[in-house]
Chain A
Amino acid sequence: MSTVVEFAQEITAPMSVIGNWLDNAETKNRVERLTADSLTDLEAFISNDTDILPPRQAWERADGFAAWRQNYAIRRLNPHLRENRRRIVEELTAAFRAWYDDKTLDRAVHNLIERLVWSPLEVRLRQRAEVLLLAYAVRCLALMWISGHFGEGLGVGQPKRTESGWLVPLVRRKTGEPAGTLPLDEQGEILVSPAAFRESLK
């Protein structure tokens, strides 16, 4: 019996050391900073990524741009997130070592950081990436439509999500005044004819 208790203590004691470390104010601040930095990095990565191309084909846009988003995730987003995870786990493991120098805990620390820090952060990063990617796609589709049917005098602002799709605000280049909104559905199809939209501009 005593062997079982000793064995349990061997496992739970390190866990409680790691738990205490994760719970201290310095670690919490560090995790908060890493979270904020990761979100900022992600936004910069996506907004500066010249490899994102507009979803021009219907199959890319079907089912809420599913194929297009998946393709981007495989090619660009997943490698970015993997690098982010590596950096965070490395930094936090090193911070733990500075706080409690015991190499035998490395594996347990690594696993807990993955589970308690990275996993929820990854969910947030993927959600944010989805918002940015969809807005990019919808905005491009609006500009392509404006470019084909109207011209350089109308600018395209940031799309806003609605219950059934998107609304994209347009502005007049010369004056900066609003020029109406362009409605799109979930697949990025423009829901107004060029003639009807022209009429609305008058």
Chain B
Amino acid sequence: MIDDFPLIRQSSGENDCLPAAVEAILLWNGVAEYSRTEIARICRMTEEGCAWYDAVEGLREHFDVEEFPASDADTLMDTLYDAVENDEEPVAVRIAVADFAGDIYGHAVVVVGFVNEEEIRYMDPLPGQWRTLPRAAFRQRWLQGGGFALIVRP
């Protein structure tokens, strides 16, 4: 479990959850010189939010970025476990979330640990708070969101 990870809130009414997630990861790494606006520009954010492929490309130009390779669900979960529990590196992932109307969206969060190996703990930039989900529910929502995950190092 990663300790002392900052709680960062995304801008109200904006789709900048991925830049907020990256900002939190950079802060945890001791890097504070990037503003949210600057990170959003690096992530090539548009009116539609951050396209994952474009954001990764942009982030690679400024940071050491490690993206999880596409693989089956179990391998992805093992890779996530290794990253946060063994290597103690926070991982930005995109999960699916539903709104009150039942529409589903992608949403970036930062995974910081596995609780008793049965629950996933993550920082959710929407409220800027900790959340946990049972392992199976997290796995499902992560894969619905594309199974995307990345590690950002300064």
- Which A residues are closer than 8 A to B by beta carbons? 50-54, 56, 139-140, 143-144, 146-158, 171, 173-174, 176, 201
Contacts and interface: CB of A to CB of B under 8 A. Distances in A.
B144 A151 contact: no
B101 A176 contact: yes
Interface size class of B (residues with CB under 8 A): 35 or more
A180 B102 CA distance: 17
B100 to A, nearest CB: 10
B104 A156 contact: yes
B136 A144 contact: no
Interface of B: 13, 15, 17-18, 45-53, 70, 73, 94, 96, 99, 101-108, 134, 136-137, 139-140, 143-148
B143 A53 contact: yes
B131 to A, nearest CB: 16
Nearest to B147: A56
A50 B140 contact: yes
Contact of A173 (B15, B108, B145): B15
Contact of B49 (A51, A140, A143, A151): A151
16 contacts: A50-B136, A53-B140, A54-B144, A140-B96, A144-B146, A147-B145, A151-B15, A151-B48, A151-B49, A151-B50, A152-B107, A153-B15, A153-B46, A153-B47, A154-B49, A155-B99
B73 A53 contact: yes
A56 B143 contact: yes
A154 B105 CA distance: 7
Given A140-B144, A143-B146, A147-B94, A156 B51 contact: no
B140 A147 contact: no
A176 B105 CA distance: 12
B48 A148 contact: no
B139 A152 contact: no
A156 B105 contact: yes
Nearest to B103: A155
Given A151-B15, A152-B107, 6 more contacts: A51-B140, A56-B147, A151-B18, A151-B51, A154-B105, A156-B103
A143 B144 contact: yes
